[in-house]
Amino acid sequence: MLMIGRLTNLFRQIFGKKKDALPRSGYNYTLPGRPLQRSRKDACFTFLLILLILVFCWLVFSPPFSWQGLTKVMRLPASISKAIDQDVLGEENAKEQQDRPILRGTIYDRNMEEMSVSYRLFSLLVQPTELPDRNKVAEQLALILEREKEEILQQLQYADGMTELADNLEMHQVEAIEDLHLPGIHCRPVEVRYYPDHGVAGQVLGFVSGNAGLSGVEALYDTVLEPGEFRQINIPVVNFAGHDALGETVADIVLTIDMALQRQLDQILAEYRQRKGASGGSAIAIAPDSGRILAMISQPGFDPNYFWQTDELQAHKALFAPRYDQELVRPLLVRAAATLEMGMDRDLLPVTLSVPDYGLSDDLLQEYWLRLDMGLPIPDFLPLSSAQGRASAQDMGDNNLLSPVQIVYGLATLLNGGHRVVPWFLNGLYDHTEERFFLRDFAGSPEARILSPAQGERLGNTLLGASFSSAEGGFLFADMITKVSKEKGLSRQLVQDLLVVAVPREKPEVLLLLTANYDTLAPYPSEVEKRDLQGLLGIGKNVLPLLVGYGGQVETFTAPSAEKNPANLKRYFYSKKHNAAEVKETLARAHLVMPSLIGLSLRKGLQQLNRYNIKIQIKGSGRIIEQKPAPGEPLDETEICELILETEHE
C-alpha cells in the first residue's frame, strides 16, 4: 500500500502541476483572430498517465514481481539502441575489411627488410562490342595506361569477347578509368608476389604460383603465409605462447638471413666466378655455435620473379648436391685427428716439420672422419617444385663427394667446441591479429655433443691457431684440387676451389664457406689464370672485415609497417615496364659468363640460355656436342651463341 500511495502522489504532482499551468476552460488561444483549439498538452499527459497506470498494474499483478525486471524494462530502449549501433558499426567494419583485402604474408630478413611481398594491383578487362566509340576509348585509355593509341585500338579491333587490355594497374589508374564511366570496361583486382632482390636469395625463398608456395620458404611455410588460421603443427619450431591457433587474418615470416651480407657475398662470388671461369659456386655463412644461417647463395642463381625461365634444380644442386671432393678439407681433418690422437698434453709440430699426415694412417683418418661427423648427411631442408628429386651421392657416382651444406656444418663442429648443430633460418613470425611477434622456441633443440668439453676446446684452439694462413682478426683456409673421378663408368676431371673464413679468430661468431666448381674437361679454360691459392686467400682477407658484426643475435624486432616499402613497389613497376632481360642484366650479376652446355639436350640447353639476352643459332639435332662461346667466356648482348648438335640417326 505504501508503494501505491507513493505512485499516486507522484501522479498527482505531475497532473496538478500541469493543470495549474493551463486555463481553467481547457482552451488556449494560439494566434489572435483564430478559432479556439483544445490544447494538445492535455492529451499528452492523459496518455502518459494511462501508460504509467498500465505499467503499474502489470508489475503488481504479474507474478513474480522483481525490481530487476523493472530495471531491465527501463533499460530496454537503450539496449536496443546500442545493439543497432553495433550492427551498423559491424557493417562498416565489414565493408572496410572488404575494401582492404588480406594479402599473402610478407617474408622479412632479420632486419625486417622485405624479401618477398604481395601487392594488390588490377587488370583491365574490356568487352569491345559494348564500347560506344572504340577510337575515342582508345584515345582516353592511352593517356591513362601510358601506351600508344594505335596499339590499344588494334587490341580492341581484333578482340573476340572479353579481353585483358592491361595488367599491373595502380589504384590511381583504376580511379581514372572508372571516372570515364564507360560501358564494357571492368577493373579486376589481382594479387602479385614480388621478390625485390630477384636472384640474390632466390633459392632460399622459392616462388609462388596460383596463390600457393611451390618451393623454398614459400612452400615450407605456405600454410602460415596464406591468410587464415594455422596451428602449431604447421610451424612447430615457433612458441605459440598458449595460443591454440594464430593467423586469424594474416602472419608474416621473419628469417635469420641478413640481406646486406647476402648481397655482398653474392657479388664477391659472382666476380670470382667470372674471373676464374667457374661454371657454378656457392657461399654459405652461418653462426657456428647455433647453426643459424646468415646468408646462402647458389650460382647460377634462381630468380623467383621469372621462375619459369630459370633452372631451379641447378640452383638447388649448387647447395645440396654432393659434388665437392672431401680432399678439399683433408688438411683440417688431419690436424683435428692428430690433436685428438696425441692427447691433451702434447702440442703439434708445424706442418713443415712433421711427418706427412703426422704419421696417421688412412684407416685412422677415416675413423676420425666418421667420429667427427664430417660426412654426416644433411636433408634438403628447402622444398623443390620439380619432381626430379634430390641430389644424392649416388647421382654423382662417388661417395667421397660432399655438398657445400655438408661441408660448412662439418667444419662448424670442428670450430665450435665439438657440438653438432643443424641448419635453421626461421626467427619467428608476426601475427597481425595479435599485433605481436611469436619467436622460435629453442627448448626443443638440445645440444648434441660429439666431443667432451675439454676435447672440443682444445680442438678448436688448435685449428684456429694453426698457421694455414696469416690473417689478423680471423681464420682463413683455402684449397684447390684437380683430380679425375669415375662417374657412371666414365672418367670425369674435378676442378674445384674452397675457401673457409671465420671471425673472430678466438671464438668465431660467423663461419663462411665459399666454393667454386669448374664443369669442364680441361683443368681450367685456356683463357683463365691457372691455380692461384694465394689469390683465393686474398679474397678471404678482403671478406674478413665484411663479416664482422653479422654474428650477433637479433633479440628484438620492429613491428612491420601497415604500408609496404614504396621503393620496392617502384622497383616492381620498373621491372614490368622494361624488358625483363634488361632488368636481369642489371640485377643478376651472376649471369655474365657462358654456361657449359656440352652433353645437354637442346631443350635443357635453351633453358639455360633463356636467361641471357643473346641470339642463338642451332645446327643439327640431338644433344649438344659443341658450343661457341666456350664455357666460362664473358657474354655480350650483341654476341651470337652457336650450338652444334649431334645428328640423331634412326
pLDDT exceeds 50 at position 232: yes
At residue 385 the predicted structure's pLDDT band, cuts being 50, 70 and 90, is confident
How many angstroms separate the CA atoms of 537 and 378, rounded? 28
Across the chain, mean pLDDT equals 77
Q: Which amino acid is at 152?
A: I
Return the C-alpha cell found at 291.
Answer: 647453426
Q: Are 465 and 507 in contact (CB under 8 A)?
A: no
Element (H, E) at 480: strand 475-487
Beta-ladder partners of 478: 499
Quick one: DSSP state of residue 146?
T
Quick one: angle between helices 149-157 and 134-145, nearest 10? 130
Residue with grid cell 653438432, as numbered in its chain:
420
Q: Which residue has the higher pLDDT, 96 or 454?
A: 454
pLDDT exceeds 60 at position 12: no
Return the C-alpha cell found at 126.
Answer: 574490356
HSE-CB of 174 using CA atoms within 13 angstroms: 16
pLDDT digits (tens, 9 = 90+) for 121-167: 998 898 888 888 888 888 888 888 888 888 888 888 766 678 888 88
Residues 64-86 have a mean pLDDT of 40
Q: Which residue has the higher pLDDT, 344 or 317?
A: 317
Q: Are 595 and 629 in contact (CB under 8 A)?
A: no
Among the ranges given (34-48, 264-278, 348-362, 388-402), the one the predictor scored with the smallest mean pLDDT: 34-48
At residue 57 the predicted structure's pLDDT band, cuts being 50, 70 and 90, is low
Q: Which residue has the higher pLDDT, 312 or 346?
A: 312
Return the C-alpha cell found at 26.
Answer: 481547457
pLDDT exceeds 80 at position 219: yes
Task: Express as a percent the part of the chain with pLDDT over 90.
Answer: 28
pLDDT of residue 645: 85
